[in-house]
Structures are given as structure tokens and as C-alpha cells.
Chains A and B, each alone.
Chain A
């Protein structure tokens, strides 16, 4: 009979956290950097920085009332960019509401994310050429959707991978379990990417689960599980590349637990992290473990980074955002009669009647 504590101890050893870059941006002893060209490394950094700017400005725009719902992703740039950089444009992304960064990298435009944030009609329209589902609000529902996508790729012999993002709180949901279980049973090419930032709004991880790690939950499904430093972009890239390769080789799904931290609040809808997180903890992650700084130091050591280049990227992104926010403010917000057309392929009689009724409201006070 194995005691619970004994199992837990083994779990931490079994799922030892993969780290390639240390907090100083140096390669960890015995670790090799993934095979990425200088240009690829620079592009990944460029995108991390773009997200850093996007996050800071989105928070500001929200405070000014120019954006609506926004879930800060600052601190999680390595998770969102490292993972998507390891995949193909033809792969499918099932994001949660915090994964606008991954969605941007995959091809959703800044303008579209802002339309979505504000709740304008065109924010509903995911472009046909981006393999993306809209950000999922119902936590862990997307785990099942990714499983369904992977199952479909198997049935049609398509060489795609589905990736889905979810936080630590999501792992308590039944749909997390069902999604992983279905994907495993059907050997579906799915990457379950858990961003463990330690908190689900105010509830710390130890109140979600007694498991020492989230990665170990993979054992319950007969699935590969790995635990990585989610603030180490090279570890993220390596883990996702390997998971994608296994998936494409018909070796089924992987659960990746990326240990990370959100530097900002849970959302911009009134959450105040100082109520539940010690200041020292926030400082520790901000100062010592920042994924962008760490990768910058690595690039610097390879002579791939200059301050001018950094300023150039920042300016470019600020300009793009400033154009985008102006465009969305000019874009139509949408009409009720217009959204009525999206419910069914063909409007049923009753909805047609209500459509006419809605039109009759026009001009009425």
C-alpha cells in the first residue's frame, strides 16, 4: 500500500521542471538550446516584446474606457509565444480568454482582438484563414473542443495538431478531465497547454488540488505529461515542439504544465491582486523571473540584441496599436437585426418576425 505522501514525493521527482534558460538567461548545465536560427530567435523575442507592449497598452486603454473585457497576459509571454512558434499556421488553436497573445501570433489581428474586447460586431468574425476558435469563456470547455479537433484530424488523416490553453483553476473542471480522457482514448494529436500561474482569480493552487503538480494528472489518462518553466521560452518551445512531433507521429496527446505567473490582475473587471497575493511574491516574479528579460539576456549573450532594435519593436507595436484602437472606435458596433442573422443558417419564422419588430424600434425613443 503506497501512502499519499509517498506518491506525492515521487511525483515531484517524476515531473521535474524542465528549464533550459536560467533566470540570468544562461543555458542550464547539461541543457541544449532548441535548434532555432538567429532569425527565428529574434522573431520570437520580437513577438514577446510585442505582447509586453500589447498588454501594457491594453490595460491602459481599458482604464481609459477605450477597451472592454481584458485579461492581462503580462508575465505569460513565453507560454503564449514559445508554444505557437513551435507549431504551424495550419494547426488549430483553442484559446481561453487570457490567450489573446497566442491568438495574435497565430494570425488574429490586434484590431480584431480589440473589437472582441469591446464587444463590437466584427469581433465575432474570426477570419477564414486563421485556424482559431473564439476565446473560450466557459472554463475548460475548450479542452473538449481540442480533443474533438484532434479526433477529426485522425479520422481524415490530416497532419494537424490542436493546441488548447487553460489555467490552473481549469484543471478542477470536469471538462478538463473529459477533454484529456477523450483525446487519450482516441489517440488524438492534441497539446493541452496548462498555464499554471498559481492563482485562479484569488484562489491559490493548493486550494484547487492536492496534487503536487498538474503534469502528473496526465498519468490518469495514460498520456505523456511534462512540467516546464513557463517563463523560459526555450523550455516552452522545446516541450511544444516535441509534443507536436509525437502528435504528428500518431503518438497521441500531451499535457504540458507551464509554471508561470501573471504580473497583472486576473482581469480588468475590478480584480485587485493585492487582496490575495503578497507584494514580495509579485516582486520576485517581476524582478527575478521575467520571461522577456531572461530571453533578452540570452540574445544579448549571442550578440543578437541591441537597444535600438528593442526601441524599434516597441515603437512599431505602439504605432500598430494606436492605429488599431482608432479603427475600432470608428468601426460599427453592430445592430440587433444584424446579429439575428448569425443564429441559424436560415432565420426561423419567429425570428424573422422579431427581426421586423426590431427594425420597427428604429427611431423610437
Chain B
């Protein structure tokens, strides 16, 4: 075991996997000698050479699109999109090409590709860096979407993503990169894709969150529990697609009250899908309408407005009280 930040755990996942399989390559903008703008690929080029870790031209469609064919022809590329907001540039290559190649060739080709990308509010970034665009890919058949919230999960989930034979979008929350340290095994291990984590058991309300919202929800839950003397369950989704509804349903059976928290905008978001599925399967278990605590439906705000725009501990607490008081 070693104490690692999330970014170190991510680097470590790539290192152990690249040692295991020489078909794994890393490509992206500044991932080579620079070790990535966040140092996520620090030391990898030095260790594995310029034929495993590539600095690419500045072109997201080119990065993902070349990786799609390399994956189809037997490589296992890990492509980095420097910031989540730049994903529109490679939307065709992720959604139409990576996500559909297995399908449109009746299984002839598979695309074992990982697209890593930092995202997430609170880091005071310029425009189009912090946006949470994961719902686009929840809505895209053929790709999987993973969002870890801590160093242990980040390493285990990234190793799973690398070993998965389907394309995985791997979202890394920027404020979490260095804010938390945790014991992480030095060897390879996996955390299964598609499996949520019950961070804290409870009986009165189910709070569902992912990424940085897990940490924030923990604070909100502690406050409400203290104030109201209730017992709240917290689920860290870990995977956005496919959603682990079994874990959610089990929790709803117990609590009958649900709050979904995400920093992405509300309409058409991950929360909408989760609540629709709860309505379809568990409506008779509900004691109150499900509530979403999200960012409002605007583009990501100017830097100094972001703290007021993003879900806060107080807004999450208010959401929990709303389902308690219905």
C-alpha cells in the first residue's frame, strides 16, 4: 500500500497496465515529455519510451479517431482529451465511430479504447474547461462512462477501463486530483465498471452522487443528520453508464426518499434518467417525489460566479430536507 492522491493513482494505473501489456499506448496533447498538464502521465514516456507515449498534434478528433482504428486493429490506446469541455471536437469520433464500430460491423471489430478527460467545477478554470458533459455519453449507446471520486476507485476503475473491450470515457474531477490522499495498493487491482458504491448506509433518505459531489454530499448529510436525527444513505455511482440501478433500487426499497446530486446542468442530465427509472420500477416505494440538486440550466458560468452556481453543501442539505418534509 502507498498513500496516493487521485492523480498519482491514475498515473499508477496506467503504469501497472502498460507494464503488463505492450499494446497499451498513451496519446494526447502534452502527455509525453511534459507528463500532462496535470502530470497524470508523469514519467510514463521516460519509462516506456516515445513509442508508447505520444504527444499528438492539437486536434481532438484526430486523437480519438486515430485511437479508434488503432484499437480496432489490436492496440489498447488511452487517449487524453486535455479538458472535458473540448469533447465536442471529437463527438463524432466518440459517439459515431468508437461507440458504434462493434455494432456496425456485427462484432467484427471492437474498440478497447479509454478516453481520459479532466472536468469539474471549483478549480477556477477559464471557459469550456470545467463543464460536466457526461450525460451526452449516457445517451450514447456503445460507450461506457466512469467517474471516480477517490484515489482507490480511480486506480481500480481505470485498470478496469483499460481492460474493457468497449470504449470507456473516464472523467477525472479536477478539484479531486490532489485534495484527498488515500491508501492505494501498489499492484494492479480492479474496481468493477457498472457497480455503484454505498459509501454510507442509512434508512431515511438515499442520496445519489458522483465525482466531487460525493464529498460535498457527505458534508451535507452529516449536517442534516445532526439537525434532524435521521439516518441517510449515500451512494457513489462511480459509473454513469451503465447505471447500477440494482444498488439504487435496493436503497430506495429501504428509504423511500431520493435525492440525486450532480454538478451538471439539470435538464436531460444523469439525475433525470435515474429518477425516470425509479418511477418505472419503484413508484410504490416512494414516500416523496425524487429531488434533483444540480446546477441550473445555463452554460458553465464565469469563474467568479462558479461557487454560487455549483451545488453547495447548503443546497444539497435543502434538497434532503425537501424529501424529508414532503
Contacts and interface: CB of A to CB of B under 8 A. Distances in A.
Interface string A121-143: 11011111000011000100100
A341 B142 CA distance: 11
Interface stretch (B11-19, B206-214, B238-246, B250-258): B238-246
B106 interface: yes
B194 A185 contact: no
Interface residues of A, number: 39
Contact of B68 (A148, A174, A178): A148
Contact of B242 (A133, A156, A185, A349): A349
A39 interface: no
B62 A339 contact: no
B61 A174 contact: yes
A343 interface: yes
Interface string B83-113: 0000000001100110000111111111000
Interface in B7-55: 25, 51
B105 A144 contact: no
Contacts of B74: 152, 156
A95 to B, nearest CB: 13
Contacts of B96: 138, 141
Contacts of B69: 133, 144-149, 152
B106 A349 contact: no
Contact of A149 (B73, B93, B104, B244): B73
A138 B220 CA distance: 46
Contacts of B301: none
B70 interface: yes
Given A138-B96, A182-B66, A345 B165 contact: yes
A148 B65 CA distance: 7
A126 B107 CA distance: 9
B64 to A, nearest CB: 8
B230 interface: no
B263 interface: no
Contacts of B92: 138, 141, 175
A192 B242 CA distance: 38
- Residue among B69, B93, B165, B243 with max Cβ neighbours from chain A (10 Å): B69
B62 A147 contact: yes
B102 A181 contact: no
A223 to B, nearest CB: 14
Interface of A: 92, 121-122, 124-128, 133-134, 138, 141, 144-149, 151-152, 155-156, 174-175, 178-179, 181-182, 185, 339, 341-345, 348-351
21 contacts: A92-B73, A125-B107, A125-B108, A133-B105, A141-B97, A144-B68, A144-B93, A145-B97, A147-B62, A148-B67, A152-B75, A156-B74, A175-B92, A179-B62, A339-B103, A343-B141, A345-B110, A348-B194, A348-B242, A349-B245, A350-B243
Given A144-B68, A148-B65, 9 more contacts: A125-B108, A141-B93, A144-B62, A148-B69, A178-B59, A178-B61, A178-B65, A179-B65, A345-B166
